[in-house]
Chains A and B, each alone.
Chain A
Amino acid sequence: MLSSEIEQPVITVEDTELAATADIQDAVDDKTRILPAIEFRDVHLSFDGKKILNGVSFTVRRGETKIILGRSGGGKSTTIRLVLGLLKPDSGQILIDGEDITHYTEEEMMSVRQKIGMVFQEGALFDSLSVYENVAYRLIEQGVDEATCEKEVRRMLRFVDMEDAIDKMPSELSGGMRRRVGIARALVGDPTIVMFDEPTAGLDPPTARTICELAIKLRDLEDVSSIFVTHEMNNLEYLSSEYATVNDEGEVVYEMEGKNLCLINTEVIMLRDGQIIFSGKDEQLRKAEDPYIGKFIRGK
């Protein structure tokens, strides 16, 4: 995965079409694609008597991005912490690639976490480690040799356009740069599922846009399933109306879905007080008559 980012060969239209046909055929033949990447079944969770999640059920298909919207404290971040097993639900089931992880021990969760990448709100980079050591963290822990580590780290940093910062310490980076390094770290090991926990919070619009582009690129070019937690409507706009493709020069470009195309790999969930009050496409969300949703979208 992400091999398209190592070198940028000249790709002809014929090559692209042939590759696309082969990919589609492989995808059809792959029986595991029928299983959702993530599935929540009637999940309940309370803290100190307060309901955080109240009967939450949803699925994330392979290659799909699920955008979770909602106010702060509505259970958005809790949802992705449950996927990673950082929290355990009071009741209900959580399945990753069809595997019920609800009652997994910390030891058992370690293998599940190998296929999940997580981008934290503030990046959550290890302060005492350099950018290189942060991104290589998972590989170093697995005992991967130095040469392979460096190659992989450089590939990931190139993916987020941060290769120049490889020797810097996290304290030398801006908020947006930290987020991008966080994304690179999350993508090491080629996870098939990536969680984004408000990755654009507090960032300027161009940097936020860059983060969204990375998420789109992962979804459309790398077939990664993801949950994108946010409360910013701009993110919803980018993720649900644009798609990434490779042009004739082999460059990644972002195009609008337009009137003739509807992205089927992005859906929206809106959480309110731990309950899903909306689930569907962004177009349906904008037409929803619920006053809470209207207020959230339009701000009034």
Chain B
Amino acid sequence: MNPLKSFLLQLQEISLLIWQSFAGLFRRPRYLGETIKQMDLIGVGSLPIVLLTGFFTGGVLILQTFPTLQYYSIQNEAGRSVATSLVRELGPVLTALMVSGRIGSAISAELGSMVVSQQIDAMRALGTDPIRKLVAPRLMALIFMLPILTVAADIFGIIGGGTIASSLFNQDTNVFITSVRNGITTEDLIGGIIKPLFFGLIIGSVACHKGLSTTGGTVGVGRSTTSAVVLSSIVVIIFDFFLSKAIQSIFDVGRI
């Protein structure tokens, strides 16, 4: 099969998976317990790595930009630079990439193992739709939890930036906080929340699709896991560009 045909086929299958998951939400049985369990695994489970990533990203942003800002005597705007970078771009994207690595791989491996050990077939044979039972709760959990994780990463990123600014560059904490408050607009915050909603959908649908289409035994599970992480990360980064452009146009965010 040529690459274009293969790409279109995968796109069709992923779109169908998303549609079936959402359509299934309005029919019984509803797997609320499973969704909450996944929210715990995805949200609470990913919190430590997301907070660490956010903190040190904020820190390194200040580390790299503060000397340049100082050169132009605008070091008082350091808080603004770190906050806008984190809220608009780095927070959503880095959180999505971390979650893609941790959760996307786990979902793909779990579903892939279930496919090769015939557990998915068994589920269907027992009268359960695997899309409603397995895919929909994971998708919902990712869509709900990724914005929350992103907010947490943003906050810790700003705290990390502030810590580095005050400890290494002796900047007054109040100056930093004022700069952050002046820098972030409501539109930035809305944009920063909308992005992870889509990223959650991308990570969940790609990981579930790759897991459910696993073939070739345990080697196939490894292959699915790798391609789920790689594909979802690439799609997140590419989609981020178009999403940023759309948000700029719709909410008038990101323009100076």
Report 30 cross-chain contacts, Cβ distance below 8 Å, ordered by A residue: A81-B121, A84-B124, A84-B125, A86-B121, A86-B124, A86-B125, A106-B124, A106-B129, A110-B127, A111-B127, A113-B125, A113-B126, A113-B127, A118-B125, A120-B118, A120-B121, A120-B122, A122-B118, A124-B117, A124-B118, A125-B122, A127-B119, A137-B126, A137-B128, A138-B126, A138-B127, A141-B29, A141-B126, A141-B127, A141-B128
Partner of B117 from the list A122, A138, A141 (CB cut-off 8 Å) is A122
Chain B residues at the A interface, C-beta cutoff of 8 Å: 29, 113, 117-119, 121-129
**A124–B125 CA distance with the chains assembled, in angstroms:** 11
Residues of B close to A185: CB separation below 8 A: 122, 126
Asked whether B127 lies within 8 Å of A114 as measured between CB atoms, the reply is: yes
Chain A residues at the B interface, C-beta cutoff of 8 Å: 81, 84, 86, 106-107, 110-111, 113-114, 116, 118, 120-122, 124-127, 137-138, 141, 143, 185
B161 CB, min distance to chain A CBs, angstroms: 41
How many inter-chain residue pairs (CB < 8 Å) link A and B?
51
Closest to B123 in A: A126
A99 CB, min distance to chain B CBs, angstroms: 16
Closest to A106 in B: B129
**A114–B124 CA distance with the chains assembled, in angstroms:** 10
Residues of A close to B29: CB separation below 8 A: 141, 143
Asked whether A124 lies within 8 Å of B121 as measured between CB atoms, the reply is: yes
A171 CB, min distance to chain B CBs, angstroms: 12
Known: A110-B129, A118-B122, A120-B121. 11 other contacts (CB 8 A): A86-B124, A106-B124, A106-B129, A110-B127, A118-B121, A122-B117, A124-B118, A124-B119, A138-B126, A141-B127, A185-B126
Closest to B124 in A: A86
Closest to A80 in B: B125
Residues of A close to B125: CB separation below 8 A: 84, 86, 113, 116, 118
Residues of B close to A124: CB separation below 8 A: 117-119, 121-122
A209 CB, min distance to chain B CBs, angstroms: 24
Which A-B residue pairs are the 6 nearest by beta carbons? A124-B118, A124-B122, A118-B125, A113-B127, A110-B127, A120-B118
Closest to A197 in B: B118
**A110–B27 CA distance with the chains assembled, in angstroms:** 14
B106 CB, min distance to chain A CBs, angstroms: 13
A89 CB, min distance to chain B CBs, angstroms: 17
A190 CB, min distance to chain B CBs, angstroms: 14
**A107–B119 CA distance with the chains assembled, in angstroms:** 19
**A143–B29 CA distance with the chains assembled, in angstroms:** 9
Closest to A112 in B: B127
B114 CB, min distance to chain A CBs, angstroms: 8
**A81–B129 CA distance with the chains assembled, in angstroms:** 16
Residues of B close to A121: CB separation below 8 A: 118
Residues of A close to B123: CB separation below 8 A: 126
**A137–B122 CA distance with the chains assembled, in angstroms:** 11
**A120–B117 CA distance with the chains assembled, in angstroms:** 10
